[in-house]
Amino acid sequence: MKEAPGHAGADVRHRLPDQLAPNLRLVFVGTAASERSAATGHYYAHPGNRFWRTLHATGLTPRLYQPHEFPELLKLGIGFTDLCKHGAGMDHVALQAGVDVAGLVEKMRRHRPRTVAFTSKKAASLFYGRPTTRIALGRQPPAA
């Protein structure tokens, strides 16, 4: 796994801002921004992405939010970040910029959310350093 907290030559236009605060109830951790999210600056911005509908359908949000409203979820105790802050697009492209597992661990220790939820098996596998085939859906063991 390549780690690059300050990857040289990284295109910062692709970086989505972290939405973190102390003691959030939930932080969603993605792999990297999609091309659409990087272009708009909004998490899960592709029109076909079911993320926002799922948040509402599961009762995590009181109404259906739109991607541009992601900063408002801090008021609900929900935050966002990605393992790869400098790449964007499909995983095979975005991850060329590297992932920052140590940076994520530091952010979670500093902000102390109650729950961390990876939005994909890929993100979880990168964090845990295991192949996606060895990552089960659902609760994971604590990180070392």
pLDDT at 15 over 50: yes
- Give the H or E element holding residue 54: helix 51-57
pLDDT at 9: 37
Q: Which residue has the higher pLDDT, 1 or 130?
A: 130
pTM metric for this prediction: 0.84
86-104 pLDDT, tens digit per residue, is 766 667 655 666 678 898 9
CATH number for the domain formed by residue range(s) 19-134: 3.40.470.10
Q: Which residue has the higher pLDDT, 47 or 51?
A: 51
pLDDT at 89: 67
d(CA 144, CA 142): 6
What does the DSSP assignment read for 84-140? EEEEESSHHHHGGG-B-HHHHHHHHHHH--S-EEESSHHHHHHHHTS-GGG--SS--
DSSP code, position 45: -
